């Protein structure tokens, strides 16, 4: 149960970019004797709630770990269901994007995805490109190590291979170079690891792990996470006030 209220937040210290590892759909369903498919449907509902909550709090960028490069190891039935569910959801939520001025972008490798899903991702990115509200990154077929490899290859293919690669140059070739690094990374479901999500970008992110399963996440839980973030001192390798 949430203990935070919106008015208790410092509106001058809202994290600009929040990343979320949305974990726990399957366990949520299993505990209720429901199918994993139902858990994923409820997970999509939680994602929509959270986008709206983040928009209302003034968060500018939100990255959602939607499908990882490792998720292909799941059963063919579950992978197929997820691909169809994401494609359908992207298409039917355009009114929600327009009403909340949500710009949808994508990170990850589109190539292995089903043609229908590739089309829906490209269409929603194009149709929302002019919206000036929260920017939502759907990380689909995304892996942090894969992103770094693809970024280096982009740098090489741009004819830069004759000079040394530095951190700034690599950063400019990431999937979303215009996104700031996450201030806060949240993982639901009780696990305490990054699972290959934004591993370059999260070098100095504040990490928050919660036992709440993703389908139960929403406005109150996001407020609690932001309040926790505001109670921390970010040092970025330097010395804080209490050091």
Beta bridge partners of 63: 19, 137
From 23, 175, 183, 224, the catalytic residue = 23
CB-based contacts of 14, cutoff 8 Å, min separation 6: 57, 58, 59, 226
Q: Where do the H-state alpha helices sit in 61-161? A: 76-92, 94-100, 115-127, 144-155
Least Cα distance to 69 among 191, 197, 173 occurs for 197
Q: Determine whether 141 is an active site residue.
A: no
Active-site annotation holds for 23: yes
Which one of 10, 25, 56, 71 is the catalytic residue? 71
**Which residue from 90, 75, 92 is spatially nearest to 35, judged by alpha carbons?**
75
**SS3 state of residue 134:** coil
Size of the chain, expressed as the number of residues it contains:
243
Q: Which residues are catalytic?
A: 23, 71
């Amino acid at each position: 149960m949430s203990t935070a209220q919106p008015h208790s937040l410092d509106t001058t210290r809202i994290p600009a970019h929040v990343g979320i590892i949305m974990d726990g759909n399957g366990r949520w369903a299993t505990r209720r004797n429901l199918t994993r498919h139902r858990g994923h449907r409820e997970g999509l509902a939680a994602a929509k709630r959270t986008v709206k909550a983040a928009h209302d709090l003034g968060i500018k960028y939100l990255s959602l770990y939607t499908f990882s490069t490792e998720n292909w190891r799941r059963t063919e039935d579950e992978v197929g269901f997820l691909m169809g569910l994401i494609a359908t959801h992207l298409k039917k939520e355009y009114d929600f994007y327009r009403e909340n001025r949500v710009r949808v972008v994508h990170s990850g490798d589109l190539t292995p995805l089903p043609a229908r899903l590739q089309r829906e991702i490209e269409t929603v990115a194009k149709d929302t490109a002019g919206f000036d509200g929260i920017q939502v990154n759907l990380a689909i077929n995304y892996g942090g190590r894969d992103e770094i490899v693809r970024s280096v290859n982009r740098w090489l293919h741009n004819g830069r291979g004759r000079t040394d690669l530095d951190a700034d140059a690599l950063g400019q070739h990431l999937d979303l170079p215009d996104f700031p690094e996450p201030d806060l990374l949240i993982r639901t479901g009780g696990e305490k690891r990054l699972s290959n999500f934004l591993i370059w970008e999260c070098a100095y992110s504040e990490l928050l792990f919660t036992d709440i399963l993703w389908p139960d996440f929403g406005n109150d839980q996001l407020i609690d996470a932001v309040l926790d973030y505001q109670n921390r001192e970010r040092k970025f390798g330097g010395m804080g006030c209490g050091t």
